[in-house]
Copies of this chain bind each other. A is one copy, B any other.
Amino acid sequence: MSEENAIPVIEDQPEAAAIEIPHEAGRDLDMTTHTHQIAPTQFVDAKGIHFAYRRFGKAAGVPLVFNMHFTGTMDHWDPLVTDGFAKDREVILFDNAGISSSSGEVPTSVERMAANALAFIRALGLSQVDVLGFSLGGLVAQELTLAAPDLVRRLVLVGTGPRSGESMASLTPEPQKIFGATYDPPDHLWLSVFFTPSEASQAAGRAWLSRFRRRTEGRDPEVNESVAPAQLEALARWGAPRANPFDYLKAIHQPTIVINGHNDVIVYTIYSYILQQNIPNAQLILYPDANHGSQYQYPERFVRHVSMFLSEEGA
């Protein structure tokens, strides 16, 4: 599609020029001075969508593209995770179509979300990326990999699961309760979604929330009210029962790492095991006393494990 091969349109923000500097391995580019907190929001157009993104880190090797969870924006990533990766590689955060600073509509299928993510990546002129997806973002990452196997070098699936299966078609009882409650302040919702009730996990959660709130300038607006219904419809379609639901995973030939908490109540942990058992070249890591957001509970450990995986020799 011609839109997917369009030349990147870099807009109005003066910092955006940083990505036009040619990539030279070992050279300390302006981009490397950016971090999660100060990386400017930039824009690129593809498929008629005005995609908001941030790009920072060491301009060497294959960039790592982050795919966000249900109702999340670029500001929902953990700076310890993104900056942790940014020490050794480029990190690309973006809002998919219809989310926060990006224009367009949220599609009601994961496949179309993946098509939009793909259009965004191609619009940046990238020929190879590593893809990380968390929760709903992990579904998008799977479909993106199946749709563009030559583009995706390695795959990182966090707190996510396969097509079909009990908790994929509709929310499990736990999130129905968690998302149905009210929180003051509202972002305390995430303490229940991402962390276990243990004292240690809740303390890690509060530390994560304070990191998560730290960016104040150029913050992404929260998503509007049309996002959740569309994403839920896409989840329901993805999770619909079908015959041999896990067979499609055999077609993911990329080296893959699957990571989750020991007791994910949002996308049950057993689905991480099922992903690993069905993707031909997949490693699994499960962290103790952790729920859906294990990577925010153990950010340094997560970055080390995934960095080891991304830097391994061979296919």
> Which A residues are within 8 Å of any B CB, using their own CB?
255, 262-263, 269-270, 273, 276-277, 280-289, 301, 304-305, 308, 312
Residue of B nearest to A260 (CB): B284
Given contacts A304-B308, A308-B304, contact A289 B281 (CB under 8 A): yes
Chain B minimum-CB-distance residue to A256: B288
User: Are A285 and B288 interface neighbours, CB within 8 A?
Assistant: no
Are A285 and B282 touching (Cβ within 8 A)? Answer: no
Across the interface, do B308 and A282 meet the contact criterion of CB distance under 8 Å? no
B280/A276 in contact, CB under 8 A: no
- Whole-angstrom CA separation of A287 from B276 in the bound complex: 9
Shortest A301–chain B CB gap in Å is 7
21 A-B pairs with CB atoms under 8 Å apart are: A255-B288, A262-B276, A262-B277, A262-B282, A263-B277, A270-B273, A273-B273, A273-B286, A276-B286, A276-B288, A280-B289, A281-B288, A281-B289, A283-B286, A283-B287, A284-B284, A284-B286, A301-B308, A301-B312, A304-B308, A305-B308
One complex includes copies of this chain to the number of: 2
A238 to chain B, nearest CB (A): 24
Distance (whole angstroms) from the CB of A183 to the closest CB of chain B: 28
In this complex, what residue of B is CB-closest to A313? B300
CB atoms of B284 and A280 under 8 A apart: no
Question: Separation in Å of the A251 CB from the closest CB of chain B?
Answer: 16
Q: Which residues of chain B have C-beta atoms less than 8 A from A304's C-beta?
A: 308
B283/A285 in contact, CB under 8 A: yes
C-alpha gap A255/B270 in the complex (Å): 21
Known: A276-B288, A280-B288. 7 other contacts (CB 8 A): A255-B288, A262-B277, A262-B284, A273-B273, A281-B289, A283-B288, A301-B308
Query: With A and B bound together, what is the CA distance between A286 and B305 in angstroms?
Result: 13
Closest to A276 in B: B286
With contact pairs A301-B308, A304-B308, A308-B304 given, residues A284 and B282 touching in the complex (Cβ less than 8 Å):
no
Contact B283 A284 (CB under 8 A): no
| CB of A240, distance to nearest CB on chain B (Å) | 26
For A277, what are the chain B residues with a Cβ–Cβ distance below 8 Å? 262-263, 269
**A289 to B286 Cα, complex, angstroms:** 18
With A and B bound together, what is the CA distance between A282 and B280 in angstroms? 25
Name the distance in Å between A225's Cβ and chain B's nearest Cβ. 38
B287 and A285: CB pair below 8 A? no
